[in-house]
Amino acid sequence: MAVTNNLKVFKDSAWLGWQMEANWTDPFLFLTYSIVKPIAGTLILVLMYIVVTGGETANAFFSYMYVGNAMYMFVAEVLFGVTWVIHDDREHYMTLKQVYIAPMNFYMYIMGRSAIKIAITSFGVFITILFGVVALDVAIDLTSIDWPLLALSLVLGLASICILGLALGGVSFLTAKHSIGINEGLAGVFYVLSGVVFPITILPTWAESISRFLPVTYWMEAVRRGMEPGVMRELADTSGYDVTGMSNVSDLTIMLYLLISVGVFFALSIGVFRIADYIARKKGKIDWTTAY
């Protein structure tokens, strides 16, 4: 009998995820997955933008949108990844109940399994932004990047998404069939309400109040301030009104809001996970498969 160490579980699970995720025997497939797919997804958005606005990408709003859209890849991939791990273990490998009854922190396992997805996504995000700067005049200036702000907001933002993954993981215990739908719905909520491609100020008032509660909202704001401070200043100065609704708020306060909302979501997610876990045990859903 031994005590399992969280970090070790994370490491071993990450190795497991790596074995499953990275199809190194087929580099073409891997490149498609990690580069072509995100850029293709981005191009759809760019095309829509060009059609709607009549074709100007060299402006502040396009850069605002482009960065938000690229960062959103993290939200979608993590939320999807966590649910997929549980789905796969339950339905495909049938190892969920064995993993579940192991004396380890189950969350470390899911995060380890998803870590490689996050790493591959980071690569995709980087490529997408590079593509934007080179080909589409996205206004990111290496000399003006606020590196500490960018790094800290990336860490906190990713943490907030991983924490949400915990809640989703719990919910996935309960609904084998609907969990994919639930996470797509949740990802959609963040897309619309967190200022990903359009500022929250254009939302109805009630929706904007929800936005101001979500960590992703502050994450998007903080990342943009770190990555494209010039764009954010220009948006605030030229538009005649406070586009993002936060232009008067200092960087420090934004980070504080981010930290607080991450904390609140952390508590909420743990609560949701515990309740879901309890219900799953009560109803005997852990080792239950849908037999498609």
Partner 1 sequence: MPHAVETQSLTRIFRPKKKKEGSVVTALDSVDLRIERGELFGVLGPNGAGKTTLLKILSTLLLPTSGKAYVAGLDVEKDLTAVRERINMVSGGEISGYGLLTVRENLWMFSQFYGIKSKEAHARIEELLARFGLSSKAKAKVRTLSTGERQKMNVIRGFVTNPEIVFLDEPTLGLDVNAARAVRDFVMDWVQSDRNRTVLLTTHYMMEADELCDRIAIIDGGKILACDTPNNLKKTVKMNTTLTLSVYGLGGINGFDNIPGLNSYTSYKDVESGTTKLRFVLEDESCVSEIVSEVVSKGSRIMSLQKTEPTLEDVFIKLVGRGLA
85-104 positions binding partner 1, by CB under 8 A: 92-95, 97-104
Among 247, 183, 259, 178, residue whose Cα is nearest residue 215: 259
Phi and psi at 264, nearest 5°, equal -65, -45
CB of 99 to partner 1, least distance (A): 7
CB of 221 to partner 1, least distance (A): 39
Q: Which is nearer to partner 1, 130 or 279 (CB)?
A: 279
Q: Which is nearer to partner 1, 37 or 92 (CB)?
A: 92
CB of 97 to partner 1, least distance (A): 6
Helix-strand-coil percent breakdown of the chain, rounded to 5? 75, 0, 25
Question: Is residue 26 a contact point for partner 1 (CB under 8 A)?
Answer: no
Q: Which is nearer to partner 1, 56 or 287 (CB)?
A: 287
The count of chain residues that interact with partner 1, using the rule CB under 8 A, is 30
Q: Which is nearer to partner 1, 14 or 220 (CB)?
A: 14
Question: Is residue 5 a contact point for partner 1 (CB under 8 A)?
Answer: yes
Q: Which is nearer to partner 1, 15 or 198 (CB)?
A: 15
Question: Is residue 146 a contact point for partner 1 (CB under 8 A)?
Answer: no
Report the SS3 class of residue 11: helix
CB of 98 to partner 1, least distance (A): 7
Question: Is residue 37 a contact point for partner 1 (CB under 8 A)?
Answer: no
Q: Compute the distance between CA of residue 14 and CA of residue 118 in angstroms, rounded to an integer.
A: 11
Query: How buried is residue 82: exposed, middle or buried, by Cβ count under 10 Å (0-12/13-18/19+)?
Result: buried
Question: Is residue 3 a contact point for partner 1 (CB under 8 A)?
Answer: yes
Q: For residue 12, which amino acid is it? A: D
Furthest CA-CA distance within the chain: 67
241-270 positions binding partner 1, by CB under 8 A: none
Q: For residue 60, which amino acid is it? A: A
Among 182, 236, 268, 286, binds partner 1 (CB under 8 A): 286
Q: Compute the distance between CA of residue 54 and CA of residue 45 in angstroms, rounded to an integer.
A: 14
Instruction: Decide if 228 contacts 237 (C-beta within 8 A).
Output: no
Q: Compute the distance between CA of residue 288 and CA of residue 110 in angstroms, rounded to an integer.
A: 19
Provide the binding-site residues for partner 1, judged by CB under 8 A: 1-5, 8-9, 12, 16, 19-20, 92-95, 97-104, 109, 278, 281-282, 284, 286-287
